[in-house]
Structure formats: C-alpha cells, structure tokens
Amino acid sequence: MSTLFASDVHLSAKRPEIAAAFESFLRGPARTAERLYLLGDIFDEWLGDDDTRDPHPASEAALADLCTSGCSVYLLQGNHDFLLGEAFFERTGVQLLSEPAVHDIEGTPTLLLHGDELCTDDLEYQAFREQVRNPLVQGQFLGLPFAARVAEAARLRNSSAQAVQLKPADIMDVAQSSVDAALTEHGVTHMVHGHTHRPDVHTFDLGGQDAFRIVLGDWYEQDSLLVWDESGYRHARIGDL
C-alpha cells in the first residue's frame, strides 16, 4: 500500500469546487492508502475549533470517515491553520504531528515540515510566525468573540498581502542553509514540505552524500499529491491513483 501526501489545499467557502474535490478524495482514492500526511494549510483560515464556517464541517466529517476506514491520517499545522486544536483532532481522529517530525516512509527516515520555518531569509515573517505561535498570544486571540476573530484575521491578511507585494520572490522561498541545518540536525537525507507552492524534487550534496527536498504542490489550480510506495515517490493527481 502507498503513503500519500498533500498540503496547501486551502479549503475555503470561496472555492467550493476544491472543497468538493478534497472531500471526494478523502472518501475515495485516499482509502487505498495506508497513511495520509497533510502537511499544513489544509484549511485556508481556521480561527478556533468553534469555527464551523463552510466547508469545515463537511471536511471534518470526511476526515473522520477516512480515519475510521483504516487509513492513518497525520497533520502538521501550517501558517493558515495553526490554530487547529485538541477538539478538532478528537472529532476527526486525525493525529497531530509536532513540527518537525521524522517518520519512516517506505524504509526511508524522512523529515516532514510545513515549510514556512525554512524561509529564514524573510526576517519579518519569521518574527510574525514566532509571535502567533506563542501559546499566550493564541489564548488571547481564541478568547475573543468569534466575530472579533474574523475581523482581526481579515486585518492581518490584508497587511500580509501588502507586505508580500514588496518582497522579492526569492526571499519568500526556503533558504538552503536552513534545509541543510534541519536535515543535519535530524540525521536524515530526505525532506518533504509544502508552503511554497512550488512542486519539485531538489537533489543536492549534504556533507558528501545525496540529499533530497521533495516539495508538495498546492490545490489552487489542480489537486496536487505525492505518492510514495515501494517503487519510490512521484507527484500525482487524484485521477492518477
């Protein structure tokens, strides 16, 4: 059986066709896999486990059904859905991964990340990431009425969009030095991540041995998956399964 990976689905009521495709994937092709790894930004905006805006309830139900079918589902929080909390994981049966995580994929110890923590040349973003990942800050935010959370999220998103327009594209990509450091720290030569929306397989030298950075695609224009089985790994779409 295969292991499947997806990230950056960005489920949103503004994109019902993507939500429908994702739910169809969970209820169909994903059931042929032994494991499914969701490496962040599955939801475009998650403002607490009481966030029941569409398409969250239907997506949760599909995830729960997949978990009960026998497929193990693991999830890393991304920069859009880092507020996924204990109630979500209890409702769905999805298993939360601490980031970064090393899992054995078809006999290969592999480092799994969302990817934004590797974009270390973007100092402004890293400072913001550290702030919003602070449990005290998160607790204060989650203590706000839901309408206030929606308004604050809209303000932050608008501010982020304006900042992105002023940044060179390369500063928002991962830094090779951070990739090397992460692999070296965990003693592995393979990494899978999302976030950058630039699907590819990068091969490079790491201390005299070949290393591999496998980047997942997003679901803005097409469903993007990674399939890893006994024959190796490959980028794919739902129709390829």
How would residue 163 be classed by pLDDT, with cut points 50, 70 and 90? low
**Cα distance between residue 228 and residue 69, in whole Å:** 20
pTM to 2 decimal places: 0.95
DSSP character at residue 81: S
**Model confidence pLDDT, tens digit, residues 87-138:** 999 999 999 999 899 999 999 999 999 999 999 999 999 999 999 999 999 9
Contact 66, 23 (CB under 8 A): no
Q: Left if phi > 0, otherwise alpha if psi is -120 to 50, otherwise beta: which for 40?
A: left
Residue 73's SS3 state is strand
- In the CATH hierarchy, which top-level class contains the domain 2-240? alpha beta
